């Protein structure tokens, strides 16, 4: 008789004489360690709601995560002040440099990044005021965000099997690739694409402890369905990191177009034709997070119609990857 685990969908064959005569009875899945009830019918385990296997789950868990956002994940205070000043048309450039001077270590890193080849100002930025004048307020705020989030994005995520710095490198690569795609398409979205790319996987940081609590099931799902990691999150949590990243964007008052792109970066066709979502989706596919998956040809799939929407052809992809790789190399060492 065939028995299937409702959590990880692993199927087992048991001789009928080995199964208890009385039904239903409980079985423990050797792959994901989840206990479920079996009703004794061939090919069909008794349905067990995932909410009974994983608790809290779905909307209940999402509410808990959202509450934790308020307590555990405030926007870095200098990033918050800089963004507020940038949104004020009457803001003085000196005010932004004054804010940075309150954190000398951060100010030093901002100057280093401002002088990197990526921003084209190598050796020209001698002070924070120089950075504000030469780069402009929007670009300076982008650098502040880049530096402020690098520590958060650089943390180890055991639930997702990501070593320290790995998510940061991927996020930076997606940010640069997104900006490169925006430039190649001619859309005036380079800065917005960069910022959305930088924060697109921030939801994984927030979900990491919850995935750790369900690690055996998550690993089993990834093992038997290696090309669908998003489905593994949805199965054990009832939602995924893109939804959580969207909630973080709302908490941080990130502009709505960028937040929407992050929400739908795996499914841009559901984004109400957001160009940023399509750009972010393609950049994520071109910048596979897992080196093993990339080598095995299991990079995130590209939705049908993405290239047509962005007015790009297959011949454009190699140029995007090459241009982005050159840019990533010039900035990675300066930011982490």
In a domain, 214, yes or no: yes
Six-digit token string for 215: 């690690």
Same domain, 64 and 42: no
Same domain, 114 and 155: yes
Cα radius of gyration rounded to whole Å, the chain: 23
- pLDDT tier for residue 43 given thresholds of 50, 70 and 90: very low
- pLDDT tier for residue 227 given thresholds of 50, 70 and 90: low
- pLDDT tier for residue 94 given thresholds of 50, 70 and 90: confident
In a domain, 193, yes or no: yes
What is the average pLDDT value for the chain, to the nearest integer? 85
Strand partners, 162: 157
Identify the pLDDT of residue 291: 42
Same domain, 28 and 67: no
Q: How far apart are CA 268 and CA 70, in angstroms?
A: 28
Of 253, 266, 279, 248, whose CA–CA distance to 181 is shortest? 279
CATH number at residue 74: 1.10.3210.10
104, 70 Cβ separation under 8 angstroms: no
Q: What is the pLDDT of residues 263-314, one digit of tens each?
A: 999 999 999 999 999 999 999 999 974 444 443 444 677 899 999 999 999 9
182, 189 Cβ separation under 8 angstroms: yes
Same domain, 226 and 150: yes
Same domain, 29 and 80: no
Higher confidence at residue 43 or residue 111? Answer: 111
In a domain, 22, yes or no: yes
Which of 150-154, 161-165, 269-273, 326-330 is predicted least confidently?
A: 326-330
- pLDDT tier for residue 14 given thresholds of 50, 70 and 90: low
Per the listing, tokens 């949805």 go with 234
Query: Which residues are CB-neighbours of 313 under 8 A, at least 6 positions away?
Result: 307
Q: Is 159 helix (H, G, I), strand (E, B) or coil?
A: coil
Cis peptide before 211 (omega within 30 of 0): no
pLDDT at 65 over 60: yes
156, 163 Cβ separation under 8 angstroms: yes
Identify the pLDDT of residue 24: 67
**CA dist 100 → 40, 94, 250 (Å):** 67, 10, 25
In a domain, 146, yes or no: yes
Number of domains composing the chain? 2
Cβ count within 10 A of residue 4:
16
Six-digit token string for 281: 């989706």
Six-digit token string for 124: 């020209």
Which of 11-15, 57-61, 269-273, 327-331 is predicted least confidently?
A: 11-15
Higher confidence at residue 299 or residue 83? Answer: 83
Higher confidence at residue 328 or residue 277? Answer: 277
**CA dist 139 → 132, 147, 246, 259, 289 (Å):** 8, 12, 23, 19, 26
Same domain, 177 and 244: yes
Six-digit token string for 293: 């998956």
Q: What is the pLDDT of residues 179-211, one digit of tens each?
A: 999 999 999 999 999 999 999 999 999 999 999
In a domain, 70, yes or no: yes
Identify the pLDDT of residue 295: 39
Q: Is 118 helix (H, G, I), strand (E, B) or coil?
A: helix
32, 54 Cβ separation under 8 angstroms: no
Same domain, 110 and 35: no
Per the listing, tokens 């949104």 go with 87
DSSP state of 5: -
Q: How far apart are CA 278 and CA 289, in angstroms?
A: 18
Residue 259 domain boundaries = 58-335
- pLDDT tier for residue 96 given thresholds of 50, 70 and 90: confident
Which of 9-18, 87-96, 244-253 is predicted least confidently?
A: 9-18
In a domain, 326, yes or no: yes
Higher confidence at residue 7 or residue 166? Answer: 166
In a domain, 53, yes or no: no
Same domain, 121 and 26: no
């Amino acid at each position: 008789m065939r028995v299937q685990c409702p959590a990880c969908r692993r199927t087992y064959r048991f001789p009928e004489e080995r199964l208890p005569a009385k039904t239903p009875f409980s079985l423990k899945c050797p792959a994901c360690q989840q206990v479920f009830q079996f009703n004794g019918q061939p090919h069909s385990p008794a349905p067990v709601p995932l909410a009974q296997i994983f608790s809290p789950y779905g909307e209940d868990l999402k509410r808990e995560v959202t509450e934790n956002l308020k307590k555990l994940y405030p926007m870095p205070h200098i990033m918050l002040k800089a963004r507020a000043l940038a949104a004020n048309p009457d803001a003085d450039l000196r005010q932004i440099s004054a804010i940075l001077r309150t954190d000398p270590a951060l100010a030093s890193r901002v100057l280093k990044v401002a002088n990197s080849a990526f921003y084209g100002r190598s050796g020209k930025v001698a002070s924070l005021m120089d950075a504000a004048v030469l780069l402009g307020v929007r670009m300076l705020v982008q650098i502040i965000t880049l530096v402020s989030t690098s520590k958060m994005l650089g943390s180890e995520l055991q639930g997702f099997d990501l070593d320290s710095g790995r998510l940061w490198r991927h996020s930076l690569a997606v940010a640069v690739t997104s900006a490169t795609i925006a430039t190649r398409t001619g859309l005036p979205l380079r800065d917005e694409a960069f910022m959305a790319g930088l924060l697109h996987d921030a939801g994984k940081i927030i979900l990491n402890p919850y995935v750790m609590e369900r690690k055996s099931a998550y690993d089993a799902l990834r093992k038997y369905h290696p090309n669908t990691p998003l489905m593994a999150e949805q199965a054990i949590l009832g939602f995924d990191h893109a939804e959580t990243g969207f909630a973080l964007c709302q908490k941080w008052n990130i502009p709505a177009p960028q937040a929407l792109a992050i929400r739908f970066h795996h499914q841009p066709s559901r984004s109400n034709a957001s160009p940023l979502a399509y750009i972010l989706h393609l950049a994520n596919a071109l910048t596979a997070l897992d080196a093993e998956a990339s080598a095995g040809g299991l990079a995130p799939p590209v939705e049908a119609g993405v290239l047509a929407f962005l007015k790009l052809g297959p011949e454009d992809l190699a140029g995007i990857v090459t241009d982005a790789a050159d840019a990533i190399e010039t900035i990675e060492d300066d930011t982490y």
